[in-house]
Amino acid sequence: MALASPPSGLNIARRFLGTGAPRLLGLLVLLAMLGLRYEDPAPLERLRLALFDAYFNLHPRSALPGGNGPVVIVDIDEASLRRFGQWPFSRALLARAVDAAREGGAAAIGFDIVFPEPDRLSPSRIAENVADLPEAIHAELKTKPDTDARFAAAIEAGKVVLGRTGLNEDRKGGFSGAGMRGFVEAREPALPLATLGGDPLPLLPTYPALLRNIEMLEAAAAGIGIFSIIPEPDGIIRRVPLAFAEGGKLRPALSLEILRIATGGGALVVKRDEAGISGFAVGGHAIPTERDGRRWVYYSRHDPARFVSIADLLDGKLPAGRLEGKIVLFGASAIGLQDLRATPLERAMPGVEIHAQMLETILSGESLDRPHLALGAEVLAAALLGLVMIALVPLLGAMPALSLGALLGAATLFVGWHLFVSRGLLIDTAFPLLSGFAVFLTLAFSNYWREERRRHEIRTAFQHYLAPSLVEKLAREPHLLRLGGETRELTILFSDLRGFTAVAESMSEDPQALTHLMNRLLSPLSAAIMAEGGTIDKYMGDAVMAFWNAPLDEPDHAACAARAALAMRRALDALEAERRAEAAAEGKPFLPLEIGIGINTGMAVVGNMGSEFRFDYTALGDAVNLAQRLEGLTQRYGVPILIGEATAARLEGRFGLAEIDAVQVKGKSEAARVFALGGATLP
């Protein structure tokens, strides 16, 4: 079989230009994907977040062992509920806990809890709310200290940040009396604030109202922070806002405000640029954020050593120095208090631990950042990946194209992973991979469709010339086909039926019978040719022209033609026996048929020839003319098969040959020797 020649520069250029339609389709798919990224539909966002979750799980932040991190959580856990009863605890108990934390050396104290109502366990509130108390007990309770005042005093004595939570509607009108106290404007700690680059409020998450602490407590606090957490659409908390907008003011998040208080209570600086909020600065810490002021939490695994029970704190069971210099957060992990949230690493993490992990993310220096230019970088990466695919895939075979796609995909994943591990950068490589995959599938489908179309064209062009097995081979391996004119050595066969004119005249009144006879004659003759791998060039009435060694290579083409000729004679003999029997049965005269076959080997031009309206795959040249002349001479010499000298040289010793004559061929100065072909002498 023919081997494909190495691709020259011209061939590569032709192949490149010839794949314009798949490339255009690939480019359109790429442009559609880039437009889709700017729309950023929910499935695309979920894919991006799933990739980041994989990063977090494969490379979580390393927490300091043994609870040596900068944050300690004083936990309202199941043990403390068993010890002190149901929540909320008395404010007097909480005051004792704040005093214990302050005396333990806490750098600052924060509450992931809001206190919007006066303490129901304050003695004066018990005297008012419990019916049928003896007068003496009622009077004595009225003289006892107010627990809210006691709690406020403890708050004022330490660096305490109270928490607020955001409300999705302004509910001030829905409260009255004491309940109103959680919502009214009250005196609150001053927040020294500086803004650089423009007003950040329009970009921040906004609440129409806040659930506040009672005035007495907020007036005593060193700072106020919002502990509301906004989950992603899938309910997982990956980013936490560091500030909110409410009532035309900037309200810091609990983690940001407690960091400000712990570092001396200086000014909070908000930076904005043309892309949005670029970050915050507080106490010597620069904290980059996304454009809306949210920051990624670089989670570590849940660490029980981060927690101490409030019962152990009040009972003095904490190791010495456990709270020294630490930021202390009060919060709840008890299941019944329903403050468990989903994170990339944990399905149920206490909300207070999320604030603790945000503080640790900032203080550890292992922060995560998704820069404002990330979107542009991801779109550029997708465009480059797609363009490389568009340029190279149509030129490559299936396996090289698949290998190229796998290599580019692995390189893209590696770059994203390396940036995450080494720089803490969150770059979405899922979108470039998805875009590249979409382009790759488009090009692969186009290549497949183009190959199928080429195979269909080959089948259509050769199904009437070649045996079905050879047609399928050409369809599977089109590189074996050399379409267009080429000069190559062929063995050409011409056959003609003698006596057919008389038979046709006898059937002039029955054209259907003549057509049936033609099919009966030509079908076995054609089958004999195709069985030996021959290409049927054309039918000329009752004559057949065929050749070997094109379009597929056949090294022993002369022998194939000889075997086909002998098989044609046997097929005609069998058919003649059937016709003789049929004529006898019908009482009709039998008109015999004979066949004359001429075979010659030589150089010829073979290829698709004709006009723009019709063309055939055929052969031309002196060797073809001689084969036709030999067929005509079979009747003169009275032999069924005549072959030329070049064919005889290739068959000598394998077939019975007898030299008949030397024939002068038109256009040739020397006579050509011709031979009669007998049966094969060797298998």
Percentage of the chain lying above the pLDDT 90 cut: 49
State both tokens at 4.
């494909």
DSSP SS3 for 73? strand
Cβ neighbourhood burial of 378 (10 Å; 0-12, 13-18, 19+): buried
What is the rounded (10 degree) CA torsion for 5, 10, 15, 18?
-140
In the prediction, which pLDDT does 389 show?
Answer: 82
The average pLDDT across 113-136 equals: 78
In the prediction, which pLDDT does 190 show?
Answer: 85
The average pLDDT across 247-267 equals: 93
The average pLDDT across 347-371 equals: 89
pLDDT at 207 over 50: yes
In the prediction, which pLDDT does 15 show?
Answer: 45
The average pLDDT across 485-505 equals: 89
CATH topology of domain 478-680: Alpha-Beta Plaits (3.30.70)
Specify whether the CB–CB gap between 74 and 312 falls below 8 A. no
Instruction: Scan for tokens 């001396």, then name that residue.
Output: 264
State both tokens at 10.
């011209």
Q: What is the DSSP letter of 272?
A: E
Among 132-146, 572-586, 613-627, where is mean pLDDT lowest? 132-146
The average pLDDT across 494-498 equals: 93
Backbone angles phi, psi at 552, to 5 degrees: -95, 145
CA angle, residues 511, 513, 519, in degrees to nearest 5: 105
* Predicted confidence (pLDDT) per residue in 655-671, tens digit: 999 999 988 766 667 78
In the prediction, which pLDDT does 336 show?
Answer: 80
* Predicted confidence (pLDDT) per residue in 417-448, tens digit: 999 999 889 999 999 999 888 888 888 777 76
Q: Where in the chain is the domain with CATH 3.30.70.1230?
A: 478-680
Amino acid making up residue 322: R
d(CA 421, CA 368): 10
In the prediction, which pLDDT does 204 show?
Answer: 94
Helices 374-392, 398-423: axis angle to 10 degrees equals: 160
Average pLDDT over the chain, rounded to an integer: 84
Higher pLDDT, 170 or 185: 170
d(CA 137, CA 147): 17
* Predicted confidence (pLDDT) per residue in 65-94, tens digit: 767 889 999 999 999 999 998 889 999 999
Among 473-477, 634-638, 675-679, where is mean pLDDT lowest? 473-477
Backbone angles phi, psi at 74, to 5 degrees: -85, 110
In the prediction, which pLDDT does 348 show?
Answer: 87
pLDDT band at residue 371 under the 50/70/90 scheme = confident
* Predicted confidence (pLDDT) per residue in 2-57, tens digit: 333 334 444 444 444 445 677 888 888 889 888 888 888 888 889 999 999 999 99
In the prediction, which pLDDT does 374 show?
Answer: 86
State both tokens at 45.
């966002």
d(CA 227, CA 84): 25
In the prediction, which pLDDT does 670 show?
Answer: 79
Specify whether the CB–CB gap between 71 and 303 falls below 8 A. no
* Predicted confidence (pLDDT) per residue in 633-652, tens digit: 999 898 999 999 999 999 99
State both tokens at 107.
């750098």
In the prediction, which pLDDT does 453 show?
Answer: 66
Which of 337, 450, 432 lies closest to 376, judged by CA?
432
Specify whether the CB–CB gap between 26 and 386 falls below 8 A. yes
d(CA 670, CA 683): 34
pLDDT at 364 over 70: yes
Q: What is the DSSP letter of 90?
A: P
